[in-house]
Amino acid sequence: MIRTLVTSLILLLAALFAAMAPSLAASKADVEAQFSRWLEADLWPDARRAGVSKPVFERAFSGLQLDWDLPDLAPPGFPKPKQRAQSQAEFRSPGAYFSEKRLQGLAASGRSLMKKHARTLAGIEQRYGVPASIIVAIWGRESGFGRAKIPHSAVRVLATKAFMSTRPDLFRTEILAALVILERSGVPASTLKGSWAGAMGQPQFLPSSYLKHAVDFDGDGKADIWNSVPDSLASIANYLAQSGWVRGRDWGFEAVIPQGVTCALEGPDRAKPIRDFTDMGIIRISGRPFPEHERKAPGMVLVPAGVFGPEFIVTPNFYVIKEYNNSDLYALFIGNLADRIAHGVGAFVTPWGKSGGMLRSDIARLQQALEKSGYDVGGADGLPGYKTRRSIGEWQARNGQAPGCFPTPALLKSLR
């Protein structure tokens, strides 16, 4: 009996979908027609102003249809995509970002590829001043050293997203940059392979980054970040060099902030010569001294999980890595992976504690309470960045608590 009911229900649903399909298909066809008109009337004038010729423009979009499988689409005439209830999302512990298995795998491949490409990397390091281990770490993280499948047409992804996504302006800039690449290089659009987000080739450059940073290093006159390893590695190095990489300096050091010294020293805007931090009693967790040239140069305290995880003294180069991908955890991942490749070290010594697990909406409430008391938390967005973390530490110190510099449920209670 139940089976009969389920079967009829399935049949009914199938019939319903079949009835809906033609109308959906019709409206998709309508959107495709709008897309063709948009290419001609809206995008082409801007492309022409950017120096793209009509034949290159037409070849790029000949027979091209929208990619309906991409995330975050907002097709005209379709119901608006539901804003994901981010406030209900849990803030994950920073430790979840550092998969030991993945890091060990990338480090092992990275070490053997460092040897394989040693001569190329030495030449790149000399020209751009960026350590080979940092370049190889980014290469591994971005595309599995060029082994990851990067199957999408960047032109199709970017055109779709410029036409109908939740962030059309960003993608409009990038599709125009992609057209400029086609104009200058003369290659067919199909050679620009990218991710579902339009990031291209082994370094995962958006087209605007390609135009700014991609270089030819194997001497064939083309900056080929899809097929050439020397070009890919040199382009990553050039990206970092142009973003301000300081030759001869490290990215940072895992450190220990001693009892009695506050974690609220954090932030890129609170740089001091590293020796000022060592004068306070901050040491490297390895027990080795900071190199003398680093002691004289500026450094910054970084505590991504407050006192509940590893603590760092980072250098301005840490923030250069963030120019590649604007995330503290990304830059730490790259720094740690580079150290594993170059020096054979393992995970950070201090474990990531059991922080995290709060709802973003609760963290936002905590931030709002701090804002009411006059603290700068960098915006109540539910994400505990350095301004939030050090404001928590300062509030705790003023209210007779030991600074922890990280949101906790207990803290939210005492702030209310």
Task: Give min distance, CB of 205 to Ca ion, in A.
Answer: 15
Task: Give min distance, CB of 221 to Ca ion, in A.
Answer: 7
Which window, 70-78, 123-131, 224-232, 369-377, contacts Ca ion (CB under 5 A)? 224-232
Q: Are 179 and 50 spatial neighbours (Cβ–Cβ below 8 Å)?
A: yes
Work out whether 123 is an interface residue with Ca ion (CB under 5 A): no
CA pair distance 397, 389, nearest whole angstrom: 13
Which window, 51-59, 214-222, 269-277, 314-322, contacts Ca ion (CB under 5 A)? 214-222
Binds Ca ion by CB under 5 A, chosen from 222, 272, 284, 295 = 222
Residue 159 corresponds to which tokens in the numbers above?
């055109």
Task: Find, among 216, 244, 67, 239, the residue nearest to 142 by Cα.
Answer: 239
Which window, 225-233, 297-305, 369-377, 394-402, contacts Ca ion (CB under 5 A)? 225-233
Where in 364-383 is the site for Ca ion (CB under 5 A)?
none
Work out whether 220 is an interface residue with Ca ion (CB under 5 A): yes
Closest to Ca ion by CB, 201 or 403? 201
Closest to Ca ion by CB, 103 or 135? 135
Work out whether 216 is an interface residue with Ca ion (CB under 5 A): yes
Residue nearest to Ca ion (CB): 216
Which window, 86-94, 223-231, 281-289, 342-350, contacts Ca ion (CB under 5 A)? 223-231
Closest to Ca ion by CB, 216 or 276? 216
Per DSSP, the residues of 102-126 read HHHHHHHHHHHHHHHTHHHHHHHHH
Which window, 144-152, 171-179, 226-234, 239-247, contacts Ca ion (CB under 5 A)? 226-234
Q: Are 166 and 177 spatial neighbours (Cβ–Cβ below 8 Å)?
A: no
Work out whether 294 is an interface residue with Ca ion (CB under 5 A): no
Cβ atoms within 10 Å of 291's Cβ, excluding its own: 15
Q: Are 335 and 318 spatial neighbours (Cβ–Cβ below 8 Å)?
A: yes
Closest to Ca ion by CB, 214 or 302? 214
Work out whether 227 is an interface residue with Ca ion (CB under 5 A): no
How far is Cα of residue 303 from the mean position of the Cα atoms in its chain? 19
Residue 386 corresponds to which tokens in the numbers above?
């350095």
Return all residues near 182 (Cβ < 8 A) that are at least 6 apart: 52, 56, 59, 60, 155, 188, 189, 192
Binds Ca ion by CB under 5 A, chosen from 231, 266, 311, 328 = 231
Task: Give min distance, CB of 14 to Ca ion, in A.
Answer: 54
Q: What is the DSSP letter of 165?
A: B
Where in 316-355 is the site for Ca ion (CB under 5 A)?
none
Where in 303-322 is the site for Ca ion (CB under 5 A)?
none
Return all residues near 255 (Cβ < 8 A) that are at least 6 apart: 277, 282, 283, 284, 285, 301, 311, 312, 313
Task: Give min distance, CB of 228 to Ca ion, in A.
Answer: 5
The residue count for binding Ca ion (CB under 5 A) is 7
Which window, 100-108, 121-129, 229-237, 303-311, contacts Ca ion (CB under 5 A)? 229-237
Task: Give min distance, CB of 209 to Ca ion, in A.
Answer: 17
Task: Find, among 343, 345, 260, 268, the residue nearest to 313 by Cα.
Answer: 268
Per DSSP, the residues of 72-91 read SB--TTSPPPPPP-GGGSBP
Work out whether 67 is an interface residue with Ca ion (CB under 5 A): no
Per DSSP, the residues of 375-407 read ---S--SS---HHHHHHHHHHHHHTTS----S-
Closest to Ca ion by CB, 216 or 371? 216
Work out whether 218 is an interface residue with Ca ion (CB under 5 A): yes
Which window, 154-162, 222-230, 287-295, 343-351, contacts Ca ion (CB under 5 A)? 222-230
Return all residues near 161 (Cβ < 8 A) that are at least 6 apart: 70, 72, 73, 167, 168, 171, 175, 198
In the complex, which residues of this chain contact Ca ion (CB under 5 A)? Answer: 216, 218, 220, 222, 224, 228, 231
